[in-house]
Structure 1
Amino acid sequence: MKKLLKILTALLLLVSLFTAAQPASVDASSKKVASGTVMKKIKKSGKLVVGMSADYPPLEFTKSVNGKNKYVGVDVELAKQIAKDLGVKLEIKNMDFDSLLVALETGKIDVIISGMTPTSERKKSIDFSKIYYAEKSDYFVISKTNKAKYTSTSSFKNKTVGAQTGSLQYTSLKKNASKYGIKVKGLAKISNLLMALKSGKVDAVLLGELNAKTYATNDSSLSLVKSSLSQAQMGNAVGVAKGQSDLVKAINKTINACQKKDLFNKKYIPAAAKAMKQASSKKSNSMSKYAGYFATGLGYTMIITVCSIIIGLILGVIFALMRLSKSKLLHAIAVCYIEFLRGTPQMVQIMFVYFGVGMLIKNLPALAAGIIAIGLNSGAYVAEDIRSGINSVDKGQTEAARSLGLSQAKTYRYVVFPQALKNIWPALGNEFITLTKDSSLVSTIGVGELMYETGLVQTATYRGVMPLCIAMCIYFVVTFILTRLLNYFERRMNLTSSRT
Structure 2
Amino acid sequence: MIKKFCLSLLLACALVLGLSLTPTTTAQAATDHSLTAVQKKGTLVMGTAPDYPPYEFETTIHGKTQVVGMDVAVGQKIAKDLGVKLVIKSMSFDSLLVALQTGKVDMVISGMNPTPARRKNVAFTHTYYQGGYSIVINKSDQGRYKDKDSFKGQNLGAQTGTTLYNESKKQTTGTTIKGMTTISNLVLALQSHKVAGVAMEKPSAKAYVANNKQLVMIPSHFNLSAADTSTAVAFKKGSTALVTAANKSVDQIKHQDLINKDYLPAAGQYLKTNTVNTSMWHYWKAFLTGVKYTLIITVCAVFFGFILGVLLALLRLGHGGLLQTAGRWLATAYVEFIRGTPMMVQVMFVYFGLGLIVNLPALTSGIIAISLNSGAYVAEYIRGGINSVDAGQTEAARSLGLTRTATLRYVVLPQALKNIWPSLGNEFITLIKDSSIVSIIGVSELIYQSNIVRSDTYRGVAPIVVIMVLYFILTFTASRLLNHFEKKWQHA
TM over 0.5, shorter chain: yes
Matched residue type, 2:485: F
Residues 381-420 of structure 1 aligned to structure 2 (within 5 Å) = 381-420=377-416
Do residues 279 (structure 1) and 277 (structure 2) align? no
**Map of 1:267 onto structure 2:** 262
Do residues 447 (structure 1) and 447 (structure 2) align? no
8 Å CA contact 1:64, 1:289 repeated in 2: no
8 Å CA contact 1:393, 1:420 repeated in 2: yes
**Map of 2:296 onto structure 1:** 303
Matched residue type, 1:377: N
Matched residue type, 1:199: S
Which of 312, 319, 325 is matched with 1:319 structurally?
312
8 Å CA contact 1:67, 1:290 repeated in 2: no
1:35, distance to aligned residue in structure 2 (A): 5.5
How many residue pairs were aligned? Answer: 457
SS in 2 for 1:223: strand
Do residues 93 (structure 1) and 89 (structure 2) align? yes
Do residues 176 (structure 1) and 180 (structure 2) align? no
Matched residue type, 1:337: Y
| Superimposed CA distance per residue, residues 102-161 of structure 1 (whole angstroms, 9 cap, x where no aligned partner) | 0000000000000000001000100100010001x3111100110100012221001100
8 Å CA contact 1:35, 1:243 repeated in 2: no
SS in 2 for 1:206: strand
1:208, distance to aligned residue in structure 2 (A): 1.1
**Map of 1:164 onto structure 2:** 159
Which of 352, 362, 366 is matched with 2:349 structurally?
352
SS in 2 for 1:412: helix
8 Å CA contact 1:67, 1:289 repeated in 2: no
| Superimposed CA distance per residue, residues 167-204 of structure 1 (whole angstroms, 9 cap, x where no aligned partner) | 11101112234xx2110110001001000000001000
1:456, distance to aligned residue in structure 2 (A): 1.3
- After superposition, the Cα gap between the structure-2 partners of 1:41 and 1:320, relative to the gap in structure 1 and judged at 3 Å, is same
**2: CA distance, partners of 1:234 / 1:151:** 21
SS in 2 for 1:240: strand
SS in 2 for 1:58: coil
**Map of 1:116 onto structure 2:** 112
Residues 209-228 of structure 1 aligned to structure 2 (within 5 Å) = 209-228=202-221
**2: CA distance, partners of 1:371 / 1:111:** 25
> TM-score, normalised to structure 2's length?
0.91
> TM-score, normalised to structure 1's length?
0.90
Matched residue type, 1:321: L
- After superposition, the Cα gap between the structure-2 partners of 1:414 and 1:469, relative to the gap in structure 1 and judged at 3 Å, is same
8 Å CA contact 2:33, 2:241 repeated in 1: no
Structure 1, gaps ≥5 residues long:
1-33
**2: CA distance, partners of 1:153 / 1:257:** 36
| Superimposed CA distance per residue, residues 377-417 of structure 1 (whole angstroms, 9 cap, x where no aligned partner) | 00000000000000000001001100110001110111101
Do residues 246 (structure 1) and 244 (structure 2) align? no
**2: CA distance, partners of 1:186 / 1:86:** 37
**Map of 1:8 onto structure 2:** none
**Map of 1:341 onto structure 2:** 338
Matched residue type, 2:340: G
**Map of 2:122 onto structure 1:** 126
**2: CA distance, partners of 1:253 / 1:223:** 38
SS in 1 for 2:377: helix
**Map of 2:11 onto structure 1:** none
**1: CA distance, partners of 2:200 / 2:113:** 13
8 Å CA contact 1:216, 1:222 repeated in 2: yes
Seq. identity, %: 52
**1: CA distance, partners of 2:456 / 2:150:** 32
8 Å CA contact 1:35, 1:244 repeated in 2: no
**Map of 2:466 onto structure 1:** 470
**Map of 1:13 onto structure 2:** none
**Map of 2:183 onto structure 1:** 190
- After superposition, the Cα gap between the structure-2 partners of 1:92 and 1:35, relative to the gap in structure 1 and judged at 3 Å, is farther
Q: CA RMSD in A?
A: 1.2
Which of 188, 194, 198 is matched with 1:205 structurally?
198
| Superimposed CA distance per residue, residues 405-437 of structure 1 (whole angstroms, 9 cap, x where no aligned partner) | 000111011110111111111011000100111
